[in-house]
Chains A and B, each alone.
Chain A
């Protein structure tokens, strides 16, 4: 192996985020007492600039550097921009929540930035080591964020559960990777792809795939590796739940695509069946269990599982159309989940988590504007046209049907109808149930209200004009 000078300019987004994470750490040390405002604003500026850098340096090119461990392509650009923007929105929603509970410390944003760094590395991974590095950077940060409220028992419990299961799944993934390495004698996805295409990998690669899929499915939260999702969603501070449910899901798409498509795409027939089982299982379990939830964070957790099922169908369909559908689904799901947890935060206040579905009661009478945002969010998650959620489902169904799996599409839509019920139940609370006692006025600050309104508007605007986002996702897969 010859040493070549890596092209640092390609990795500008990561370098920038890492540098700024250090800056935030230092700044936060010296500017504590003021609710960590400097750390917050620095973090937000960092994320916006990182998004711009990713777009500027990586969109439309196809370059590999750092001895083949780092790839800069359109897919990486799309993933990174999405991750940065979702993180930006999550922090904007979460800040007020943390302040009300005396949790507002600079570490939250610092750890958040580091997890973003992990996601960016994943998005550009072109080698199993860099992929794993990014993944662990993300996961470890998330464990810490879940346990951010030290005094909360449920938070600590959730973090412990998340950590133990997460470590297990990382072990599985690592084991799978070692098998793949054994079968292909390389960590580099390009070389692995060559071996896989030549059919030289043999049984060892097959084993590797099985174990890696387990790891990947865990990070997504696909059934039967979903057990952590409801507990973590419920136990973590809502600000963390919001973060966990948005950007990392997009990063998980990176994990899947880089490892199983870029690396092992030639062996797709091997992992298709596994992905299909995960998809159908997630659709079934997610939708059916969500029906009986009374806690809205758990409900959204199970709904996440069902959405992951839909997203996996895109992988099952395979081909550029299928991956486009999966990426589009992840991005739109991130937007919807951010809004939904944003609503939970909006309704909560000090000493009141607003995490029961009943807490949504009479929202239309308290504030018809936010009731409407909730309406848009819920219908978008159901997949009703006029909202972007429809196109996410539509793209997946289209890819699945074009791939000749009509029965899978039928299963998916049947579960979508079952899923409609629990979203409608939330809307029933919002619109149909009248207020019983005098309502406490909503206390959220103006900034958060604007972001929430913009979030809802974005879902409707993308619901009317989805073309550009679809085209971007398509371009990421060379369409």
Chain B
């Protein structure tokens, strides 16, 4: 299907065009705007499936490559391509966008076409981020992404939305401008803006460290890592449900993806020398932020903090590899498993956090509050919904059989090969995660019906059932059968590993 087509360009520009079309359709016919958006996002999702079917696993080479001159004066190329790392993330993006469009169907009544257009345009831009192989092209998409998100939070967000969206924008903007300086400097060294040509330059350690920190500024804010995570709870709480879903499911992953695409291979020596810092920050995220999550009274804030904790696992998996190899140079497979675990965790967290935010959205649409203590006994009135909510909560806690388990387990297992204590601390998350998620579930879903408003709750509609059902299938499927995903990623991650770690 779609062989010989410029699939990646289609995936980038089709949603953007659809978004412009929706914008032009105006506010007078919201129904038309909704349908154009849904059709566009579904078509884009179907096209993106051809990436999966046409993907040649077993190679680390870039696939679906497109290359054209763009800014000829300074040799910037319109160069696209995907490997095993970026392809699943693109699928996650197209999948999440369909859900977001569907989830905003009835809820959004103010400026419908602008809302839908923002998400479609954001989809195209995010796919551009994952498929760009030219540093400037990457940066263009990376920054442009801020515009729609800024508007989504600011226009359709909650009471404190303006503070939240300004904080979101300025944090991420500050992080990324230093990356731009680093990218231009790298072009000066490598003679080209091709990302892959920037690998293995053999720069002196001091330079690498500066570059590493420049990238860290950009990606740590996006991930977000402790202590630059404070924008996320604000942004999540104030964003409309769709915004939270895209933030959690995709945008955070762009930080993780950046570590794999830029930090590790471009500054391997700095990564090796600074891995203690990254591991420490990751473990703090896992444990400390996990504890912070426990005391939250706002459901969205709780899930936001739990996202930070889960993304800590991702960065832990990426940067533990040096310790694994240092402990036993022959044990490369464990190190690669750590990378795989981190990547699987990214995909899984994409599904799980999206699902949890959608669940909170379902409740919020009915009760207009996110406070945990405003609920209680929801299961009595919404049994089907409660089933979904509990399932996703279990996945968030890392229950075996759900997708949440796979990535965490792989990272913990690999950490054991580095040092028992790393693994022990990381494994605390299984307890903490269970504690904060299930405690929330207990207070919200179970027990007696808390008040009259809860008593009047309506069971989820067919639209909501479909959205949550699809996500439930994805979570379970990835949980019991992650092999296809891992097979796709393995060659690329092995290749990455060989570029980053020089084994004696």
User: A residues engaging B (CB < 8 A)?
Assistant: 364, 368, 372, 375, 379, 382, 384-386, 390-391, 394-395, 397-398, 401-402, 406, 409-410, 413-414, 416-417, 420-421, 424, 427-428, 431-432, 466-467, 470-471, 474, 479
Cβ contact of B178, chosen from A410, A474, A479, cutoff 8 A: A410
Residues in B neighbouring A402, C-beta threshold 8 A = 184, 188
Q: Does B70 contact A (CB under 8 A)?
A: yes
Q: Does B173 contact A (CB under 8 A)?
A: yes
Q: Does B111 contact A (CB under 8 A)?
A: yes
A102 vs B151: C-alpha distance when bound (angstroms): 39
Given known A384-B147, A385-B144, A413-B181, contact A431–B166 (CB-CB < 8 A): no
Q: Does B467 contact A (CB under 8 A)?
A: no
Residues in A neighbouring B143, C-beta threshold 8 A = 384-386, 390
Q: Does B431 contact A (CB under 8 A)?
A: no
Which residues 251-275 in B have Cβ within 8 Å of A in the complex? none
Q: Are B166 and A421 in contact (CB under 8 A)?
A: yes
**How far, in Å, is B470 (CB) from chain A's closest CB?**
31
Residue of B nearest to A372 (CB): B23
User: B residues engaging A (CB < 8 A)?
Assistant: 23, 27, 69-74, 111, 114, 136, 139-141, 143-144, 146-147, 150-151, 154-155, 161-162, 165-166, 169-170, 173-174, 177-178, 180-181, 184-185, 187-188
Given known A368-B114, A421-B170, contact A467–B180 (CB-CB < 8 A): no
Given known A397-B180, A402-B188, A471-B72, contact A385–B141 (CB-CB < 8 A): yes
12 contacts between A and B (CB under 8 A): A372-B23, A375-B151, A382-B173, A385-B140, A395-B74, A413-B178, A424-B169, A432-B161, A432-B162, A467-B70, A470-B73, A470-B74
Residues in A neighbouring B178, C-beta threshold 8 A = 410, 413
Cβ contact of B155, chosen from A406, A409, A424, A432, cutoff 8 A: A432
Residue of A nearest to B142 (CB): A385
Q: Are A467 and B177 in contact (CB under 8 A)?
A: no
Residues in A neighbouring B185, C-beta threshold 8 A = 401, 406
A432 vs B73: C-alpha distance when bound (angstroms): 39
Residues in B neighbouring A394, C-beta threshold 8 A = 136, 180, 184
Given known A385-B141, A390-B140, contact A413–B166 (CB-CB < 8 A): no
**How far, in Å, is A155 (CB) from chain B's closest CB?**
35
Residue of A nearest to B125 (CB): A386
Cβ contact of A417, chosen from B165, B170, B184, B188, cutoff 8 A: B170
Residues in B neighbouring A432, C-beta threshold 8 A = 154-155, 161-162, 165
Q: Are A417 and B155 in contact (CB under 8 A)?
A: no
A394 vs B143: C-alpha distance when bound (angstroms): 13
Q: Are A431 and B188 in contact (CB under 8 A)?
A: no
**How far, in Å, is A361 (CB) from chain B's closest CB?**
13
**How far, in Å, is B144 (CB) from chain A's closest CB?**
4
**How far, in Å, is A16 (CB) from chain B's closest CB?**
31
Scoring B70, B155, B169, B187 by chain A CB atoms within 10 A of each residue's CB, the highest score goes to B169
A37 vs B141: C-alpha distance when bound (angstroms): 46
A414 vs B166: C-alpha distance when bound (angstroms): 16
Residues in A neighbouring B170, C-beta threshold 8 A = 417, 420-421, 424
Scoring A385, A431, A470 by chain B CB atoms within 10 A of each residue's CB, the highest score goes to A385
Q: Are B27 and A368 in contact (CB under 8 A)?
A: yes
Residues in B neighbouring A372, C-beta threshold 8 A = 23
Residue of B nearest to A428 (CB): B162
Q: Are A398 and B184 in contact (CB under 8 A)?
A: yes
Scoring A406, A416, A432, A466 by chain B CB atoms within 10 A of each residue's CB, the highest score goes to A432
A479 vs B177: C-alpha distance when bound (angstroms): 28
**How far, in Å, is A352 (CB) from chain B's closest CB?**
26
Name 6 extra pairs, CB < 8 A, besides A417-B174, A467-B73, A470-B74. A401-B188, A420-B169, A421-B170, A432-B161, A474-B73, A479-B73
Q: Are A428 and B154 in contact (CB under 8 A)?
A: yes
A385 vs B136: C-alpha distance when bound (angstroms): 10
A146 vs B227: C-alpha distance when bound (angstroms): 51
Given known A368-B27, A417-B170, contact A401–B70 (CB-CB < 8 A): no
Residues in B neighbouring A364, C-beta threshold 8 A = 111, 114, 155
Given known A384-B143, A386-B147, contact A417–B71 (CB-CB < 8 A): no
Q: Are A406 and B177 in contact (CB under 8 A)?
A: no
Given known A386-B140, A390-B143, contact A471–B177 (CB-CB < 8 A): no
A191 vs B161: C-alpha distance when bound (angstroms): 62
**How far, in Å, is B256 (CB) from chain A's closest CB?**
21
Given known A384-B144, A394-B136, A397-B184, contact A413–B114 (CB-CB < 8 A): no
Residues in A neighbouring B139, C-beta threshold 8 A = 385
Given known A470-B71, A470-B74, contact A431–B177 (CB-CB < 8 A): no
The 9 closest A-B pairs by CB, nearest first: A385-B140, A413-B177, A386-B144, A432-B154, A417-B174, A385-B143, A401-B184, A470-B73, A385-B144
A337 vs B382: C-alpha distance when bound (angstroms): 56
**How far, in Å, is A325 (CB) from chain B's closest CB?**
10
A479 vs B166: C-alpha distance when bound (angstroms): 41
Residues in A neighbouring B166, C-beta threshold 8 A = 421, 424, 428
A425 vs B116: C-alpha distance when bound (angstroms): 24
Q: Are B188 and A416 in contact (CB under 8 A)?
A: no
**How far, in Å, is A369 (CB) from chain B's closest CB?**
9
